[in-house]
Amino acid sequence: MDVTKAVSRRSLLAGAAATGAVLAADSLLPGSALAGSVRSAADTVTLEFWTNHDATDVPLFQKVIANFQASHPNIAIKMTNETSANYDTTLIPTRAVSGTLPDVFYNRTFATADRANRGWTVNLNPYIQKERFSLTDFWPAEVAQETWKGQMHSLPYDFSDFGIYYNKTAFDKKGIKYPPANGNWTWDDLFRMAKEFVQMSGGKQTMWGLDASPIAWTWPTIGFILAWGGKWISKDLRTFQVNTPEAAELFQTFQDQTYKTNVILRSASLPAGFDPWQSGKLAMAINGSWATLQQRAYIGNRFAWDVAPLPKGPTGRRPISPAGGAWSIAANSKNPAAAWEWIKFLTNTRSAEILISEPTRSVPGRKSAVPTWVSVARSGKLPPAHVSVFADTMAEAFPVPTVPYYNELATITGNYVGAMLTSRKPVKDTLAKWQADGQAAIKKYQF
């Protein structure tokens, strides 16, 4: 082929012009951003709405959207369920930096402060104050987490806390009384009980008393430290205060129960997919309110189980520091008023019942949706019989505000708690390094 004849300057220019015309025409077709804004000019406002849930939640959201649009015919909701595991770490920050966040998106309470500090989300206070929108039906601890510098930046969706899952069959075999459903017990009581289940065979341990892995997850870590009388962050959020004798006592206790008495499973070293609780190798496990349905599916009839409230720490309080999901309005939204109408509806009692209570997800963000949650969870007589402990203990939660440096502090916390509980590093030295690194991290942030 003679390429000099096949591609002349004239034909190249003609081709480029034709391509450009096609691209320009495509931008005016339905589905393109430009077309969207042209069409939403007058009558209907279209809100882009992102969730980050399982595929099984999609029909529930569609039901809520249908209910909303029946009462708000001038606001259309275009929903996308982003299932990516990198939703929080990559997707949201990338879209935020490029100014293309959806109008309403799923946020997490411990990410609210960071995103608000960067100016990615809308301050909801003007709407709340103008309409005298009541926040009393939301959990106070969750409202605290979604407030940054006195301004609310998201409305609560759900809230998760922890309890003690226990293997009733194992307890029955040993003839040991179950953990008290009224929560009137301490961590010493738990460790005494758990020690009875430690079993060795041929030099290897075959059963443990407790899985305490969530203690290294940062947001639950805070509750444990506070329940032991320790400190976390100063009121002005600028001083990291973890290195206290009380925190040393907490981590020394858990380290001793892991390495000296072999009660606690060194579960941070477990391979993905292997669950000793579901395999019946644990008498008890600290696990969350979101896990009840999952445990029912995985355990089936293999053993009987139930849940009990977390024991009380030396302060007399339980180590409850929940975290949850929330809905925020993007700062780049062109329709914040319509977005406000949508998130109000999304977080009302009936929507919370549809989305959380009836499928028995984690604890609803609205207290008024909890009775439905409890009655559905108890119906069918499936375990856990005492599922209400998650909602009952929510009122005892420490109101820990989140901070813009949460992610960095979480990395540091995970490394040092792991060092103490899985590598058996000396507690005192590790706490000192943890505090120093945490303080150095806080200094990098301007707020």
| Residues forming the site for other proteins (CB under 8 A) | 3-4, 7, 9, 12, 89-90, 93, 96-97, 114, 117-120, 203-205, 213, 216-218, 266, 268-274, 331, 405, 407-408, 410-419, 421-423, 425, 430, 437, 440, 444, 446
- Residue 328 or 430 with smaller CB distance to other proteins: 430
Residue 115 identity: R
Q: Closest separation between CB of residue 125 and other proteins, Å?
A: 18
- Residue 54 or 429 with smaller CB distance to other proteins: 429
Q: Closest separation between CB of residue 273 and other proteins, Å?
A: 8
Q: Closest separation between CB of residue 148 and other proteins, Å?
A: 13
- Residue 383 or 438 with smaller CB distance to other proteins: 438
What's the chain's length in residues?
447
Token pair recorded at residue 174: 């040993």
Q: Closest separation between CB of residue 400 and other proteins, Å?
A: 17
How many other β-carbons are positioned within 10 Å of the β-carbon of residue 19?
10
Q: Closest separation between CB of residue 74 and other proteins, Å?
A: 30
Residues 299/315, Cβ–Cβ less than 8 Å: no
- Residue 157 or 416 with smaller CB distance to other proteins: 416
Helix 58-71, helix 336-346: angle, nearest 10: 120
Q: Closest separation between CB of residue 417 and other proteins, Å?
A: 5
**Cα–Cα distance, 232 to 148 (Å, whole number):** 17
| Interstrand relation of 155-160 and 323-329 (parallel, antiparallel or unpaired) | antiparallel
How many other β-carbons are positioned within 10 Å of the β-carbon of residue 250?
27
How many other β-carbons are positioned within 10 Å of the β-carbon of residue 222?
23
**Cα–Cα distance, 179 to 228 (Å, whole number):** 20
- Residue 119 or 180 with smaller CB distance to other proteins: 119
Q: Is 22 left (phi over 0), alpha (psi -120 to 50) or beta?
A: alpha
- Residue 12 or 14 with smaller CB distance to other proteins: 12
